Amino acid sequence: MTGPEEIGRAEELVDRVAAIDIAKASGMVCMRLPHETRPGRRVQEVWNAAATSNAILELGDRLVCQRVTRVVMEATGTYWRPFFFLLEAHGLECWLVNARDVKNVPGRPKTDKLDAVWLAKLAERGMLRPSFVPPKPVRQLRDLTRMRTVLYQERTRHKQRVEKVLEDAQIKLSSVISDVFGVSGRAMLAAPIAGERSPRALADLARGTMVAKKAALTEALTGQFDTHHGFLCQTLLDSIDHLTAQIGKLTAQITAVVGELPGPEDDTSRPGPSLVTRLTAIPGVGPGTAQVLLAEVGPDMRVSPTADHLAAWARLTPRTVQSGPKNSAGPTGRGNPWLKGALGEAALAASRSDTFLGARYKRIVKRRGRRRALVAVARSILVIVWHLINDPDVEYSELDSDYHRRLIDPSRRTRDLVRQLKALGHDVTLAPAS
């Protein structure tokens, strides 16, 4: 049994609070205030407010007149945005909370009114924590990077549809060429669409290293490609080219927005371009991934006091589950899918490199498996990102792939290996190397 433990100051009640249960076209508002004549008592008022701009501005005026100090709302899709931004512009302190943190007590009826009252009661007792809502420039950068990611995914789907059309025509081009949409692959797709059907003539379109595979290409290009397949392929290729052009425009706009990204409030510099350059020094992080990381975590690390806070927010830290004498690690959770997706790609690229992060992956994958090793590398990348953003004078320094090997005590390692061999039934005699 442990003794008394000193903790921080107890959370004070929020005297004047409002909570909004948000739907698409309206929001149920619950306002709780102190009673004017009976100390210790509360006054509660619940009403429905439309989700239009004028109605939200009128709601803001009403809350300001009642001297409400905090407005709390759930993160419901994108419907919370008008309420949050317009009320915040009115000078109100707005909190966006995770819906999983404010679930009602099971067994009770569920209505919009009861949900708003429950949310207001939790808010006035200080039992909620706000979610991270970045400032407007970072939100705009997020919109651009997320749109680019969506277009990348859509372009990949169209490429897979081209693969299906080729398989339907018995064309096995992807079995020989790693990138069907490279220079040689696009030429071999354009020719049959234009009417060329000879496998040898199509194989002669190979360029570069593909020239050595003409025999295999001739065999792979022998199929039943007809006008119907050509129409389908041309339609998909036009969509792929259009998406590629849109991605290029988005990348140019993202680069411009990053260049204008402001620093912390007390810093008038523009740290965006330099941050992207420093982040690309991390193994597995390219310019596009660096822009996504900057858009998702922001250029101001005061919202995350330590790297562990940032890793926990990104759900890259296992939860501790304790019941009786048993302690176990729970799942990390979902987290920000855009951030975890970028970190996963960076971790996968770093795992194949001859670097410290690559060596870390190889050490962990042997005993923990591939997925957990990638999560561990992703967390290491995020910790490095926190340090690079938090301190503008810090540069990434590579520790090399033999960093852990240099820390091993040779005599201790020798004893461990001798003990393992003896446990297998071997007699071990050591002799110094010549």
Does residue 27 sit in helix, strand or coil?
strand
- What is the separation, in whole angstroms, between the first and last Cα of the chain? 60
Residue 263: in which H helix or E strand, if any?
none
Q: Are the C-beta atoms of 234 and 190 separated by less than 8 Å?
A: no
Q: CA 80, CA 123: separation in Å to the nearest integer?
A: 17
Pinpoint the alpha helices (H) of 92-207.
112-124, 136-168, 183-194, 199-203
Which amino acid type is present at position 162? V
- What does the pLDDT read at residue 307? 94
- What does the pLDDT read at residue 264? 65
- What does the pLDDT read at residue 10? 46
Count the neighbouring beta carbons within 10 Å of the beta carbon of residue 201.
Answer: 14
Phi, psi of 43 (to 5 degrees): -115, 130
DSSP state of 34: E
Q: CA 172, CA 223: separation in Å to the nearest integer?
A: 8
Q: Which domains does the chain have, with CATH numbers?
A: 17-124 (3.30.420.10), 139-257 (1.10.287), 268-321+328-390 (no CATH)
Pinpoint the alpha helices (H) of 302-408.
307-313, 337-351, 356-368, 370-390, 403-407
Query: How far, CA to CA in Å, does 347 sit from each of 61, 146, 354, 357?
Result: 49, 19, 13, 8
How many CA atoms within 13 Å lie on the side-chain side of 401?
Answer: 12
Q: Are the C-beta atoms of 118 and 125 separated by less than 8 Å?
A: no
- What does the pLDDT read at residue 146? 97
- What does the pLDDT read at residue 404? 83
Does residue 136 sit in helix, strand or coil?
helix
How many residues does this entry show for the chain? 434
Task: Name the packing angle between helices 227-259 and 183-194 (round to 10°).
Answer: 140
Bridge partners (DSSP) of residue 45 are: 31
Pairing of strands 17-22, 70-74: parallel
Phi, psi of 31 (to 5 degrees): -115, 130
- What does the pLDDT read at residue 269? 65
Does residue 41 sit in helix, strand or coil?
coil
Q: CA 378, CA 311: separation in Å to the nearest integer?
A: 9
**Long-range interactions of 82-91: CB distance < 8 A, separation 24+:** 82/51, 82/53, 82/56, 83/20, 83/22, 83/27, 83/51, 83/56, 84/133, 86/53, 86/56, 86/57, 86/60, 87/56, 87/59, 87/60, 87/63, 90/57, 90/60, 90/61, 90/63, 90/64, 91/64
Q: CA 418, CA 430: separation in Å to the nearest integer?
A: 9
Count the neighbouring beta carbons within 10 Å of the beta carbon of residue 238.
Answer: 11
pLDDT values of the chain reduced to their tens digit, one per residue, 434 residues: 456 766 555 456 788 999 999 999 999 999 999 988 888 888 999 999 999 999 999 999 999 999 999 999 998 889 999 999 999 998 999 999 988 888 767 777 889 899 999 999 999 988 888 998 999 999 999 999 999 999 999 999 999 999 999 999 999 999 999 899 999 999 999 999 999 999 999 999 999 888 999 999 999 999 999 999 999 999 999 999 999 999 999 999 999 999 888 766 656 667 778 899 999 999 999 999 999 999 999 998 998 999 999 999 999 988 888 888 888 777 777 889 999 999 999 999 999 999 999 999 999 999 999 999 999 999 999 999 999 999 988 999 999 888 888 888 888 888 989 999 999 999 888 888 87
